[in-house]
Amino acid sequence: MSQTHTFTGWLLDLYLNQEEGLSLWFISADDDSRVCFRQRFPVSFYVAGPNETLRALWKRISGHPDVLSLSRQRKQDVFEDQLVDVMQIEMESPASQVKLFHDIEQIYPDLTYYDADLTINTRYMARYAVFPLALCQLEVDGNDVIQSIQALNDRWELFPELPPLRVLQVTPDADPTRSSVQSLLVHSDRFELRLALDPQGSYLQTFDQLLSDYNPDILATDWGDSWLIPFLLKDSEAKGIPLQLNRDTSRPVRWQKETSYFSYGHIIYRPEEAHLFGRCHIDRKSAMMWSDYSLPGTLEMARVTTMPIEKAARVSPGQGISAMQVITGLEKDVLVPYQKRQFEEFKTGLQLIQSDRGGMVYQPLTGLHTDVAQIDFVSMYPAVIILGNISPEVPLPDGLTPAHHDLGVVPLTLKPLYEKRVAIKQKLRTYPENHPMVATLKERAQALKWLLVVCFGFLGYKNARYGHIEAHEAVTRGGREVLLRAKDVAEEEGYEVLHMYVDALWVKKKDCNKPEHFTELIKKINHRTGLTINLDGVYRWVAFLPSKVDPRIPVANRYFGVFQSGEIKVRGLEARRRDTPLWIASVQKEMIRLLGQARTKNELEDCIQEAFNHYQQALQTLKAGMVLPEQLVINGKVSYALEAYKASTASVRAARQMQAAGMPVKPGMRVRFVYTRGEPDVVAWDLGSKVEPGNLDSDKYVELLIRAACSVLSPFGVSVDILREWSLSDGLQLHLPATFIMT
Amino acid sequence: MGRTIASITQTWQEEEAALNRFKRALRKDDQVLLDELLVLSRLHLAEASYASNLYPLDMYLIAILLEVYKQLKTIQHEFYNPEQHKDQARLEEEEVFLKLITNYLETSGEQPQEDTTEAQEEDLPVVEIEDERSYADFEEAP
């Protein structure tokens, strides 16, 4: 064997390699070079079933060239009390394992398969505790084949040593779905330049040279999946100018098919994805959570879930938590079933009525309230899962008291995640707001928050490997119990409970208007529930809004208010909705900002006037046709195939225009449009046709503005009917009672 | 796995729908009162959900009783302690709004116009407005 040497570096990318097993790309900790090593990686999967069928399978595959060994083992199935007899099939490489498994599954569909469909990252993590961006020490032979590897840090480190990543950002100078792109803006920490898309293709040569010289680890694009990379590759081929996007030059770009899927009540569309080898491509426009947690959050997600960075950027956090649960199972040396075999237990009608319940959602006391404290449980459902040891394979708790000592797979997965998030949040409190670490830590905490949030949802997801509806119900049951205990404590302490929403309470008490006034209450709730509850803040004032349909009915999640810090909190209003036109949202936000300037109840009156004045000015601007059409674009959505629609909504009419123009429309896609006068009454924005401000249907937008303004003004006594009557009239003909004018 | 049991709001809507025939037969004034009673029951949906009663209507009736009793107690309290409630009188919605308009017009340099309709009517011929601007309710929530 050739001589080995030691290498220290961060793992960047890992993928299957037909010859040796795996290819692994590292960033050297010594000289900043990017190095590719290979590694043999035999893997095993397991099969259980009747002896005669297993014997037949044994005979069939025993001579297979890629089968290294066959043996009988006794292993733990996560859902069984006793060990089970299984046949272990050890394969030469992950690629051969996938192939053999699919072959034998066709022939023996009734056998039970374990560890059969695990991703390569999951297997690698489980075996070597190595994950994306882990700092590793390797022994490598003269042929660049890894002989041994160990991680020098773990997934739960708060401040891990991270590699100096080279990020190249590439952005078209215009939205390619609307207009023709003239140039690409290329940006890195070292340079910034504009590449004009010249017909000769010299920009391709320059870009290729840039990739070669700068050698980025991450290619961060806008519309990279849907437009940029397909365009570059096509142009490169047409002009015969080579362009090497991959670091691994032996590979072409890998395309992952487009897909539409249903998630949390919405149809989500994911376009085709361009994946690179040896470096990562992140299309910020199709990175699902980019706006929430950006690159630091994405890297945190990749580290803790062990998913490849490209995948962590694009997929929902649910896939991440699923991968983590599999790793926990493998680390516990339990078998991971290929197909779920847990079914919902039989329940009587009454049991079903009692168990099929969500979180506690109260009806708030509508109107304006001052000096209100909002207290939130820290990651309540994950905390309930951990506290109650709620996992599909262990007995479920009655209330919050665990029925089993050893933590199950789900709480075992969540515990370090929960603790890491709490630790980051605590660290954040020690930094001033302008500290350079604050933004990064917030984004990392946000990524962890999403993982914790979806973990509860996945417990109730029938296709999740560790999904079990009874466990899901046990979590909501625990949540309700916790919230009611908190309410009991608050009322015992003399607080008025204005509202409760799943994991948060809004309380007030005479003369309590400073954070320290609520410390004792928080301590008592912590003690009574066993969970951590924090003061989110004390509102100067908060307004709980009623239903738009019936103002007598309170709505749980429609409120806005201003904390003592001046921070404004808005939930359920138009400004928070994705489909609200930017301009309408900005008017509403400004009205709330103006109201937020009031420090006392007396100041509020002046601020209401200012907010109202702002509305009036906005109304006049809108009526005068002075708002740009792009500011009035409505961001609609089609949830089904267009043929399935019986009623033609505005979104559907716009989508049909796009389809007629040859643009593909898939369920879950966003459809942007503007309302116009006459026929057609909507124009799909992405058609690219110019819409003059005069052609906009101002009546529709005035109505949207009225509704947005009324959401803000209604707690102060302005009803939508009066506001509409005034706004639709020319303003000065309102019948003003003489008595009022006299005052 | 989705929900098997209807949510508490759905059961409330079912119960409301079940009263439709009863409501239709009521006099108009009573229909309005019934509507108001039903609104009162909606104020305790969370509690009704937590109760998980086989017959949710029981919970809605108790919620109505509770709210009516609360109103009764409030009125009693106001009746016996009239001084305490003096400051609670609030401006009517229209007055609040008119005040905002007046202030706005004053600050923007325009003068609020008094209602001169009656005076004008004597001097000017009555003109029928043919195309009164009306706003059909918004087609859908965008």
**Residue of chain A with shortest Cα separation from B97:** A718
Q: Which pLDDT tens digit goes with each residue over A272-330?
A: 899 999 999 999 988 878 878 889 999 999 999 999 999 999 888 888 998 999 999 99
* Poorest-pLDDT segment among A376-380, A449-453, A489-493, A643-647: A643-647
pLDDT at B119 over 90: no
How many residues would you count in chain B?
142
Q: Which pLDDT tens digit goes with each residue over B33-56?
A: 999 999 999 999 999 999 988 899
The pLDDT assigned to A735 comes to 39
On chain A, the residues whose CB falls within 8 A of the CB of B100 are 608-609, 612, 718
Residue A494 — pLDDT band, cuts 50, 70, 90?
A: very high
| Residues A388, A273 share a domain | no
CATH number of the domain residue A184 falls in: 3.30.420.10
- Pairing type for strands A218-221 and A280-283 reads parallel
On chain A, the residues whose CB falls within 8 A of the CB of B105 are 732
Residue type, A389: N
| Residues A377, A249 share a domain | no
pLDDT at A723 over 90: no
Average pLDDT over residues A623-632: 92
Rounded to whole angstroms, how far apart are CA atoms A52 and A58? 10
CB-nearest partner of B104 from A363, A616, A718: A616
Residues 6+ apart with CB under 8 A from A725: A734
A361 contacts B5? CB cut-off 8 A: no
CB-nearest partner of B39 from A461, A552, A608: A552
Q: Given its phi and psi angles, is residue A367 left (phi above 0), alpha (psi -120 to 50 degrees) or beta?
A: left
Coil/strand/helix, residue A193:
strand
User: Which of B34, B87, B94 best probes binding to A when mutated, by most A CB atoms within 10 angstroms?
Assistant: B94
Could you tell me which of A590, A282, A587, A301 has the C-alpha nearest to residue A443?
A: A301
Residue that terminates a domain, selected from A541, A572, A603? A572
The pLDDT assigned to B94 comes to 59
CA-derived radius of gyration, chain B: 24
The rounded mean pLDDT for chain A is 90
* Torsion over CA: A479, A483, A486, A488 (sign): negative
Instruction: Supply A50's token pair.
Output: 């009747």
Percent of chain B exceeding pLDDT 90 equals 44
Residue B132 — pLDDT band, cuts 50, 70, 90?
A: very low
On chain B, the residues whose CB falls within 8 A of the CB of A350 are 52, 54
**Residue of chain B with shortest Cα separation from A343:** B1
Q: What share of chain A is helix, strand, coil (3-state, %, to 5)?
A: 40, 25, 35
Q: Which pLDDT tens digit goes with each residue over A546-569?
A: 988 888 899 999 999 999 988 899
pLDDT at B136 over 80: no
State which residues form the domain around A274: 167-214+218-278
| Residues A522, A380 share a domain | yes
| Residues A403, A499 share a domain | yes
The kind and range of the H/E element at A563 are: strand A554-563
Assigned domain for A389 exists: yes
Assigned domain for A104 exists: no
Assigned domain for A235 exists: yes
Nearest-CA distance B80 → chain A (Å):
24
CB A727 within 8 A of CB A701: no
On chain B, the residues whose CB falls within 8 A of the CB of A354 are 52
Coil/strand/helix, residue A540:
strand
On chain A, the residues whose CB falls within 8 A of the CB of B5 are 352-353, 356-357
CB A12 within 8 A of CB A27: yes
The pLDDT assigned to A2 comes to 61
Rounded to whole angstroms, how far apart are CA atoms A8 and A130? 13
Residue that terminates a domain, selected from A261, A278, A295? A278
CB-nearest partner of A736 from B7, B98, B139: B98
* Poorest-pLDDT segment among A329-338, A588-597, A612-621: A329-338
On chain A, the residues whose CB falls within 8 A of the CB of B54 are 349-350, 353
User: Which of A736, A741, A742 best probes binding to B when mutated, by most B CB atoms within 10 angstroms?
Assistant: A736
Rounded to whole angstroms, how far apart are CA atoms A629 and A623? 13
Rounded to whole angstroms, how far apart are CA atoms B11 and B22? 18
Residue type, A651: S
| Residues A361, A222 share a domain | no
On chain B, the residues whose CB falls within 8 A of the CB of A650 are 139-140, 142
Residue A358 — pLDDT band, cuts 50, 70, 90?
A: confident
Residues 6+ apart with CB under 8 A from A282: A218, A219, A220, A221, A224, A290, A295, A298, A309, A310, A313, A314
Q: Which pLDDT tens digit goes with each residue over A376-399?
A: 999 999 999 999 999 988 899 988
Assigned domain for A561 exists: yes
On chain B, the residues whose CB falls within 8 A of the CB of A735 are 115, 117
Residue carrying structure tokens 């896939």: A319
Could you tell me which of A330, A337, A296 has the C-alpha nearest to residue A116?
A: A337
| DSSP state at residue A224 | I
Residue that terminates a domain, selected from A572, A606, A635? A572
**Residue of chain A with shortest Cα separation from B90:** A717
Assigned domain for A76 exists: no
Instruction: Give CA B87 to chain center in angstroms.
Output: 23
Residue A71 — pLDDT band, cuts 50, 70, 90?
A: very high
**Between residues A133 and A292, the one the model is more confident about:** A133
The pLDDT assigned to A730 comes to 61
Average pLDDT over residues B113-123: 39
CB A264 within 8 A of CB A457: yes
**Between residues A723 and A58, the one the model is more confident about:** A58
CB-nearest partner of A726 from B4, B42, B101: B101
The pLDDT assigned to A373 comes to 97
Residue A5 — pLDDT band, cuts 50, 70, 90?
A: very high
Assigned domain for A710 exists: no
* Poorest-pLDDT segment among A178-187, B62-71, B96-105: B96-105
Instruction: Supply A344's token pair.
Output: 């919902």
CATH number of the domain residue A493 falls in: 3.90.1600.10
Instruction: Please tell me whether the interface predicted TM-score (ipTM) of this complex is above 0.85.
Output: no
CB A669 within 8 A of CB A269: yes
| Residues A362, A231 share a domain | no
CB-nearest partner of A650 from B5, B97, B140: B140
| Residues A376, A263 share a domain | no
pLDDT at A734 over 50: no
CB-nearest partner of B93 from A703, A707, A719: A719
* Torsion over CA: A131, A132, A137, A143 (sign): positive
The pLDDT assigned to A710 comes to 92
Instruction: Supply A604's token pair.
Output: 């509020």
pLDDT at B96 over 70: no
The count of structural domains within chain A is: 2
Could you tell me which of B24, B45, B49 has the C-alpha nearest to residue B34?
A: B24
Q: Which pLDDT tens digit goes with each residue over A680-717?
A: 899 999 888 888 888 899 999 999 999 999 999 988 88
B50 contacts A360? CB cut-off 8 A: yes
**Residue of chain A with shortest Cα separation from B115:** A735
The pLDDT assigned to B109 comes to 61
Instruction: Supply A527's token pair.
Output: 């003690």
pLDDT at B84 over 80: no
B4 contacts A356? CB cut-off 8 A: yes
**Between residues A112 and B98, the one the model is more confident about:** A112
Q: Where are the alpha helices (DSSP H) in A84-241?
A: 94-107, 120-128, 202-214, 229-239
On chain B, the residues whose CB falls within 8 A of the CB of A609 are 100, 103-104
Nearest-CA distance A466 → chain B (Å):
13
pLDDT at A727 over 80: yes
pLDDT at A18 over 60: yes
CB A370 within 8 A of CB A39: no
**Residue of chain B with shortest Cα separation from A355:** B52
The pLDDT assigned to B6 comes to 87
Q: Measure CA of the first residue to CA of the last residue in chain B; give whole Å.
A: 29
Rounded to whole angstroms, how far apart are CA atoms A14 and A317? 20
